[in-house]
Amino acid sequence: MHNDIQAIMFTKQEIDQMVYSLAHNINNDYAGEEVVAIIIMKGSLMFAADLIRALTMNVKIDFMQVSSYGAGTESTGTIKIKKDSDIDLNGKNILIIEDIVDSGRTLALLRPTLEKRGAKSVKIATLLSKPDRRVVDVPVEYIGAEIPDEFVVGYGLDYDEKYRQMDYIGILKPEVYN
């Protein structure tokens, strides 16, 4: 598995620092208010678990599974909601927790969908953002790091359901996915 990694982009310690920095900002913004964390599965699981543990307000947790990727490395451009939220979101502060914002298509659909359900507010927290790949301009309130257009895996991020368990984020060798 590690032989498939071209380079380490972020170590476990660097990821931990990003998570705590994001949590600090979210704690300040939502002080005294409850938040519903909508965790986008599957890639966001590890990031969300660490982020939520660092939050100081009351947090309700729910999951959505939304996909625009198949087994490839490019977005298909079609968004599929495979698992929807089970919580009544009317009047709630929603924090969408995403692993990586790439094209922006998924979140461009998801934010207005949740807003139409009567949410008090909808904000997005992502560990990573690839602004060079953005096809749809979607505001992201909390970003751990902006990265170049590299295919990254680890810490929940995958290629064809592999590499999620790594505690660091690495650049996948192109020969693995080409």
> How many C-alpha atoms does 144 have within 13 Å on its Cβ side?
25
Residue 129 structure tokens: 């953002």
Q: Which residues contact 178 (CB under 8 A, 6 or more apart)?
A: none
Helix ranges (DSSP H) in the chain: 12-29, 45-53, 105-116, 174-177
CA 100 to the chain's CA centroid: 5
Rounded Cα–Cα distance for residues 47 and 111 (Å): 19
The residues annotated as belonging to the active site are 102
Rounded Cα–Cα distance for residues 15 and 127 (Å): 8
